[in-house]
Structure 1
């Protein structure tokens, strides 16, 4: 048995507090023999307990929603970063393949001018490839930022709507 097994849940603590408040109200009412506890005092106590229960319920629901939102955000971020890393690996592989292909072509060149022409062509193609890869990574990063912030934005809008209502 661990220490955590002996720690009551927040629901248990709150329910015990509400039961104690109910019992205290009943004891207060019965503590004055011969006197009828004014109905207004009893109603106020019951209304206070009811309000406290509602506040607790609202806080618990908000905490659960926040936890769900964070879990969704972290899962989305994990998937997005995995996608980003896979793209980086694919790009590195493509760049490496191009370098080896270029080296093979240069090794087969018959003249210096042919080697210079291959070098110029390779440099131009590499520049175009890097520019394309940079655009692709930028688009992926923007998508990642948008998808990751989506659950937080939705939670904020829900909370604002509830607050305004």
Structure 2
């Protein structure tokens, strides 16, 4: 139990440090959320109150921003996202999605436009975007990811 308590204290301390670092910037909420998400892989639900207090915002304002942007999440996110926009679908992203799901299971989610249509099909693996992805490129990216883990 003490280690769990220490972990919560260190999480709270890190959130406070991040909030203090950005609090005097105009529009500080987005940089705070990005840094917290980069640190934890998600936004801890308990952080909403602390962020709101640190930035003099309501909890509803903080939650509203987190829930509006699809890149912010309250739980650990997928390891890969496959674009299912029209350009990507026309270049075979449905097959890439099936292949990625077969390899990663629930660690894959479809998204409906990564915004790199000229280089379709597109995927994101561990927050890095890749264009013109073939099944062979997907396999190589996932093998490289697995080797790094």
User: What's the TM-score, normalizing by structure 2?
Assistant: 0.24
Higher-strand-fraction structure:
2
* Bigger relative CO (Cα 8 Å, ≥ 6 apart): 1
User: What's the TM-score, normalizing by structure 1?
Assistant: 0.22
Higher-helix-fraction structure:
1
- The structure with the larger Rg is 1
